[in-house]
Amino acid sequence: MWQPTQIMMNGDLMPYEDARLHPMALAVTYAATVFEGLRAYQVPDTNQFSLFRLPEHIRRLQVGMKLMRFDRSYDTDYIRDCLTRLIRANEPDTDVYIRLLVYIEGTGLLATTGPVGFTAAAMPRDKPKFVDTGMNLGVSSWQRLADNASPPRIKTTANYVNARLAVHQAKADGYDGALMLTPEGKVSEAPIACFFMVRDGRLITPSTSSNILESITRDTIITRYQELTGDAAIERSIDRSELYFADEAFLCGTGQEILPVTTIDRLPVGEGKVGPLTSQLRQDYFDIVRGLSPEHSEWRTLI
Ligand SMILES: Cc1ncc(COP(=O)(O)O)c(C=O)c1O
């Protein structure tokens, strides 16, 4: 499989192993970093890649930078140009996962607002595990971050301390992954993905006030579900005990794509198998991201 050879820092390509950031940069000392994970899917029978929902990723990045009071921003055209050069330089022959990090590269005090720098890296991704078997999730005793403490709505690296604690607890307890609750005890999300469940034929997901990242994949699924079934997904708060009434469940995110969940707290979700709606939405998602389905061309930036 191809491996990254070139990385981009502040708009310039350089050998992947030559990238450097000073350890005293605020990005490191105070986690003054916001980031995005994006995917560029190979479009079959062409030499093109389809960057999925680029403007929405950049919009979220820009809001994160604003809230973190970074003293400059980047627009979609500039980032598209950078990512195009980055992908071409790495000559990928499979789908590409992109990490885009924007940070304070200067040293200084906690409130320092610049200079701001960015790094973009392109890499392959292994086929995700659990696609066929489904995941065994455990509800974590680590609470999801509160919006008025460290807002999960922005994708800042500091938020992933919380996610890391939950992942390691789940591993130590023998689960494939964790599901986190809000400080009020309502279902929030997984450490790096959003959560959906099916109950009595309705698709339900925690609302955006459940301390979640406003996931672009979640939005894609809500939109496609409505278009495919004519029914609206329900965005609301979910009690923990409702999890055990679910007939199907899955996680979603750019990196995870759509992963079925077959047990929660070692109790089967429905019949403990990958559910039919989960499979249908998953297939549809791949058709959309690759452009096999002509709908939503506005979601695909071809490069
Ligand atoms: C905490 C968290 N929730 C949800 C998601 C999914 O978000 P998206 O669909 O925008 O990739 C991610 C992945 O980036 C995440 O880190």
Nearest residue (CA) to ligand 1, atom 7: 215
* Catalytic residue from among 66, 127, 129, 155: 155
CA angle 196, 198, 200 (to 5 degrees): 155
Q: What are the pLDDT digits (tens) for 137-186? A: 999 999 999 999 999 999 999 999 999 999 999 999 999 999 999 999 99
Q: Which amino acid belongs to residue 115?
A: P
Intervals of the chain under pLDDT 70: none
Ligand 1 binding pocket includes 194 (Cβ within 6 Å): yes
Contact between 191 and 152 (Cβ < 8 Å): no
What is d(CA 272, CA 137) in angstroms, rounded to the nearest whole number? 12
**Alpha-helix residue ranges (DSSP H) falling in 106-248:** 160-172, 216-229
Write out the H or E segment, with its range, that includes residue 101: strand 96-104
- The pLDDT tens digits for 37-47 are 999 999 988 88
Distance CA 82, CA 84 (A): 5
Tell me, what's the pLDDT at 227?
A: 98
Q: What is the 108 CA–ligand 1 centroid distance (Å)? A: 30
pLDDT given at position 234? 98
Convert the pLDDT of each residue in 249-276 to its tens digit: 999 999 999 999 999 999 999 999 999 9
| CB contact at 8 A, 12 and 84 | no
What are the residue ranges of CATH 3.30.470.10 in the chain?
6-123
Does the active-site annotation cover 129? no
Look at the block and give the residue holding tokens 């991704």.
125
Torsion-angle region of 232 (φ positive above 0: left; ψ -120 to 50: alpha; else: beta): beta
Confidence at residue 217, expressed as pLDDT on a 0 to 100 scale = 98
Q: Where in the chain is the domain with CATH 3.20.10.10?
A: 135-290
Q: What is the CATH number of domain 6-123?
A: 3.30.470.10
CATH of 135-290, one of 2.120.10.30, 3.40.1190.20, 3.20.10.10, 3.30.390.30: 3.20.10.10
